[in-house]
Structure 1
Amino acid sequence: MNQLNSMIPFELGLCTDLEYLYLDHNFLTGELPSSMSNLSKLVELNLSSNSLSGELVPHLIANWTQLTSLSIDNNNLTGKIPSEISLLTQLHHLYLSNNQLSGRIPSTIGDLKKLSKLVLLKNHLSGLIPSTIGNLSELIVLELSDNYISGSIPLEVGHLTSLSGVLINFNLFHEPDTLSIFCNVTSLLHLSLAHNKMNGLIPKCLGNNTSLIILHLGNNQFHGGIPESLCNACDLQNLCLSDNYMSGVIPKCVGNFSNQLSVLRLDQNNFDGPMHREFCSSSNSLAYLIIL
């Protein structure tokens, strides 16, 4: 690991044949020099984990049309994600997390038809998720946690049948029946919507996601019981429903439906009835059980 601690020199923009540029995990400061717009042959650009500042101005990124991977996470970028991001039509991976980006996610994000990973967590993004995100048919990972995004998750997200990870914790989503959007996304392995203001029932059809490994719905306002259909997720390792308004008897199958289940959190709800012996079965792998 190096410890470069200067600004990115303007002269870097003279290296117009550059295809791969990795300057991540240094101590680089300042804004991206405008001369970097000359690097039109870039295929991969990684500036992660520095102290870069300033904005992603449109003229800077407009010529990066060959980029397949853009990583500027863990910096101090400010301003909005420019709508001109749509010009990067070859992009597969977009990592802008842990900056100070604000404003809405631009609707033009839906033009990035080859995008498989969209990671924007830990910013100051607000507004709604644009419905055009449903155009990203190759999207595998969607990470928007730790922002100020509100409203509802657009129905179009439910059409993204390649999704394996959706992490949208610590936002301001509040619409009821949001979970039903994911009922037919059977490729899901990780669904985390914790620390929002979601309400309504957990739908029975969520049990269609039989490949789920992690399901985090804690710190919301869900009510009603745990649908037994969740026990169809026989590979589930981590189930968190804590800090909601759920009630009723905990289904017997919750204790033994998965030999892989190691974390089960049902605390801070209104469940009643018996604690089933299945929770203590020698065949399960529970290491973390909280039912306060």
Structure 2
Amino acid sequence: MLNKGLDTLSYLNLSHDFQTHIERLPWKNMKTLDLHSNFIQGALPLPPLTVSFFSISNNSLIGELSSLICNRTSVEILDLSYNNLNGTIPPCLGNFSKRLSVLDLRMNRFQGTIPDTFDQKCGLNNINFNGNELEGSIPPSLVHCRNMQVLDLGNNKIKDTFPRWLETLPELQVLVLRSNKLHCFLPSTTTNHSLPELRTLDFANNDLAGPLPKGYVENMKGMWNLDEQGTSSYMGTRNFSYHYSVSLTIKGFEIKLEKILTIFASIDL
């Protein structure tokens, strides 16, 4: 099969299978490559240069994430979650693809700091680095990601004060910073329109102090305005039918939401 459709195959889904090794990915015009939920071992195989969707989550990959991944400038969704990848996050991940909308590296063993390289053309909607060993501060350049809907940096070792610039992200709906080393008093909101779309907020297990800024709740129209038609949908990308997911602690229990309803709301402090 590796020699079939070398110039023509554009879609391949081998998810939820029993694949254990991927030696090479030779297709020249591949757009969608889904290998998630297998038993693939070894180093991360680099997808074809033309790929737009690449998921190899829920496998047994080891080793570092090569900076060669940044040559895949057509990628829109990159999901490497739930593996055993380690080392540092390549700095180029912050700006290698203007098309990138989802960057999911959660539940690996990445160390070091989050690169402060997100440029003004950042198109990311979803960043999930939950469950790694990341340290340092939350990079201020994330403020350039004006379309950000989900930011999950929970369960790391990030040591920083509360990043006030997050208030300026107009589309942010899910913010998870739990179980880090954030410290200082929570600031009062600096604008009457802080985080207007926010519906899910998790700051628990940090060293933050002071009253919760009332503006965060008063301005959270996304938390109390239901869809005008009374309907709901799931957060995600339409073009690849890819649904966002997030891990939250609700009433003391950690729950992984495989899909996030657009009317779901939660606060954990």
- Give your verdict on TM over 0.5: yes
How much does 1:158 deviate?
1.3
Deviations 1:85-115 (A, max 9, x none): 1111110000000000001110121211210
What is the CA-CA distance between 1:67 and the residue it aligns to?
Answer: 0.5
Find the counterpart in structure 2 of residue 195 from structure 1.
179
In 2, Cα distance between equivalents of 1:197 and 1:190: 19
Which protein is richer in helix relative to its size? 1
Structure 1 residues not aligned, in runs of 5+:
1-10, 244-259, 267-292
SS in structure 2 of the partner of residue 102 of structure 1? strand
SS at match of 1:236: helix
Q: 2:116 matched to 1:131?
A: yes
Matches within 5 A, 1:144-183: 144-177=129-162, 179-183=163-167
1:202: how far off?
A: 1.9
1:33 Cα deviation from its structure 2 partner: 1.2
Q: Distance in 1 between matches of 2:155 and 2:56?
A: 22
Does the CA contact (< 8 Å) of 1:84 and 1:108 recur in 2?
no
Cα RMSD for the two superposed structures: 2.5
Name the structure, 1 or 2, with higher relative contact order (CA <8 Å, separation 6+). 2
1:81 deviates by 1.1
How many residues were matched structurally?
231
TM-aligned CA deviation for residue 242 of structure 1: 10
**Higher CA-based Rg:** 1
Q: Distance in 2 between matches of 1:135 and 1:18?
A: 34
**Aligned-partner Cα distance in 1 for 2:65–2:208:** 33
When the two structures are superposed, what TM-score results if normalisation uses the length of structure 2?
Answer: 0.79
Percent identity, please: 28
Match of 2:14 among 23, 39, 55: 23
Between the aligned partners of 1:162 and 1:135, the Cα distance in structure 2 is 11
Q: Does 1:80 align with 2:64?
A: yes
Question: Structure 1 264/77 Cα, relative in aligned 2: closer, same or farther at 3 Å?
Answer: closer
Displacement of 1:13 in angstroms is: 4.2
The answer on 1:95 being equivalent to 2:86 is no
1:49 lines up with 2:37 in the alignment: yes
CA distance in 1, matches of 2:267, 2:145: 28
In structure 2, what is the Cα distance between the partners aligned to 1:55 and 1:195? 29
2:219 aligned residue (220, 232, 238): 232
Whether 1:33 and 2:23 are equivalent positions in the alignment is: yes
Partner of 1:273: none
Runs of 4+ in 1 over 4 A off after TM superposition: 239-243, 260-266
